[in-house]
A and B are shown apart, each in its own frame.
Chain A
Amino acid sequence: METMTVAERMTAQEFLALPDTRWAQLIDGELVISQPGLLHDGAAKEIDYALQTWARAEPARGRVCGPLDVQLEEGHVYAPDVLWYRDGRVPDRHDPPPYPIPDLAVEVRSPSTWRYDIGVKKSTYERHGLPELWLVDTAADEVLVFRRSKPSSPTFDVAEELAGSDTLTSPLLPGFALRLDAVFS
């Protein structure tokens, strides 16, 4: 098993005071630890690489990072696999965690934590105004994109489901294009 929920409830403050929160998240007050496998690692690195390449190609394209601790509310400290902040919202590099909600969060499927990604994490991201979420389904070789039709939309009212040789693009990232067969090769 690559994931465990440690039967321990804690506050965000207690979570952030842990000596090591790598691979750990606080979801609904519960400590969830996952140990990513190669399937997860491969997809996360491809997306990170593509986003980094895009972001560095021109100025003012923000910053790609992650996983970093992002606190959404009490009991909810997530570590998206990849985060992107648009120019103007990039945290100062001296800022300590937790970091503000990014403009794009990428979550890659690991066995047994996917229920959180499509469940409470997606709902909480949606409620806290995350502009765009990519759920990378390594079991189906698909990417599910949830975004808002306009910045003030209260919900993820636009959904895409990309597979095969589809290309992932985003209105947030002008000029960015990533073929899915590269992500899942």
Chain B
Amino acid sequence: MEAMSVAQRVSAEEYLAWDGPRGTNLVEGDIVMPQPRPLHPEILMRALHALRTWSEAGAGRGLVSLPLDVGLDDGNVYAPDVLWYRSERAPGYDDPRPYQLPDLAVEVRSPSTWRYDVGAKKTNYERHGLPELWLVDTAADEVLIFRRSKPAAPSFDVSEELARGEALTSPLLPGFTLALDALFA
């Protein structure tokens, strides 16, 4: 088994005070620990690199980060694989955990935690107003994008499913483009 849920229900406060390994998530009160396959960090770094390159190429292009604890509610504290905040919402260096929802969250598929990415995490991201979610499906070499037709849309009412040969872009990131052939090289 490549991931485990610790059979112990904790609150967001207890979770944030817990001195466990990073990269975990609190999903509906359960601590979930992914143990990525070797491919996962590689693809994660490619996505991170593409976003950072874009973000540093112009002023006011926000903050790209490795996993940070993002608090949604008392049972849910997630650590998206990559986060992006637009400039005016980026947390400061001294801000305490947990951080606010980013403008874009990227989750890369790991065996046995994908059910959370597709299930409870996606549902809660949607309910708490995340503007855009990228699910990077390493089994299918696809990226599934969920976004909102307008900022106030109550659900992810726009979806895309990108495969090799296609390029990932986003209305949130003018000028950003990532070829899926490069992501899944």
Contact = CB atoms under 8 A, between A and B. Distances in A.
B81 interface: no
A144 B115 contact: yes
- Secondary structure of the B contact surface, majority rule: mixed
Nearest to B145: A115
A139 B139 contact: yes
Contacts of B113: 161
B177 interface: no
A173 interface: no
Given A118-B118, A123-B155, A140 B139 contact: yes
B139 A159 contact: no
B123 A120 contact: no
Interface in A21-43: 28
A114 B115 contact: no
Contacts of B111: 142, 161, 163
Interface in A119-158: 119-120, 122-123, 126, 135, 137, 139-142, 144, 146, 155-157
B157 A144 contact: no
Pairs of residues from A and B, 6 with the lowest C-beta to C-beta distance, nearest first:
A140-B139, A139-B140, A161-B115, A115-B161, A159-B115, A115-B159
Which one of A114, A119, A155 has the greatest number of beta carbons of chain B within 10 Å?
A119
Contacts of B144: 114-115, 118-119
A116 interface: yes
A53 interface: no
A164 B65 CA distance: 34
